Structure formats: structure tokens, C-alpha cells
């Protein structure tokens, strides 16, 4: 059984930092590209960051220079370090594991940036 579980969401003040974690089980984690996506109320889900099995990264334009994605294959976990958070970063953040046609999503974790 495949499980993708996000954690680390919270409420934080503008300018603050937060680290999200996503633990995957039931898959050969090292083979999978991992990604973070987010969805704000009334908006479409958008790309935040992805990391390939080889460690190459890609970021959405709105988070470049502020967010960093990383992975620990020994722990089957991908991280999203978020710095200089803005109110517009408020959203549910979803983790995705993808390999070929296989794609698995987590249930999401809420991030709220507000003073």
C-alpha cells in the first residue's frame, strides 16, 4: 500500500520560515520524482517545487529564491524549506510522488501566513 504523508504545516507570521516534510512508503522512493504543489482557496493547484531522482530541482516563479526542496532517500522523505513567507503563500500544500505513469498524492497540509 502506497502512502504519502505531509506534515509541518502551521500558521506563521509574514517573513517567517517553515519546513514541510513528506514521507512516502510502499514505493521505491529513490526512483521517484517528488514534488510540492499548493492550492489556495478559489485557485487552481500550482507547482511549488520538484526534485528528480537524480536531485535536479525546479521551482515555481513565485517561490524562487525563497523556497528550497531537498530529499533524503535513506528516510524516504522530501522536504520543503520555506523562508521569507508572504501572505500569498497561504495554501494547502500537497506532496506528489511520480515515476512513469504512477502518481501518488498526499492529503495536504495547511500553511497560513498571517499577522
Q: What is the pLDDT of residue 69?
A: 98
> What pLDDT sits at residue 13?
98
Query: How high is the pLDDT of residue 27?
Result: 96
Cα 74 to chain centroid distance, Å, stands at 18
Q: What is the 3-state secondary structure (H, E, C) of the chain?
A: CCEEEEECCCEECCCCCEEEEEEEECCCHHHCEEEEEEECCCCCCEEEEEECCCCCEEECCCCCCCEEEEEECCCCEEEEEECCCCHHHCEEEEEEEEECCEEEECCCEEEEECC
CA 78 remoteness from chain centre? 8
pLDDT at 78: 98
The half-sphere exposure of 110 on its side-chain side, counting CA atoms within 13 A, is 5
Q: In the chain, which residues have pLDDT < 70?
A: none
Residue pair 40/48 in contact by the 8 Å Cβ criterion: no
Among all chains, which residue has been given the C-alpha cell 517545487? 49
Amino acid at each position: 500500500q502506497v502512502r504519502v504523508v505531509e506534515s509541518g504545516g502551521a500558521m506563521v507570521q509574514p517573513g517567517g520560515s517553515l519546513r514541510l516534510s513528506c514521507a512516502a512508503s510502499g514505493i521505491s522512493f529513490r526512483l521517484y520524482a517528488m514534488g510540492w504543489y499548493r492550492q489556495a482557496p478559489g485557485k487552481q493547484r500550482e507547482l511549488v517545487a520538484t526534485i528528480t531522482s537524480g536531485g535536479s530541482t525546479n521551482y515555481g516563479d513565485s517561490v524562487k529564491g525563497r523556497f528550497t526542496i531537498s530529499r533524503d532517500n535513506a528516510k524516504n522523505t522530501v522536504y520543503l524549506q520555506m523562508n521569507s513567507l508572504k501572505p500569498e503563500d497561504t495554501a494547502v500544500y500537497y506532496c506528489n510522488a511520480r515515476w512513469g505513469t504512477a502518481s501518488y498524492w498526499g492529503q495536504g497540509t495547511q500553511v497560513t501566513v498571517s499577522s
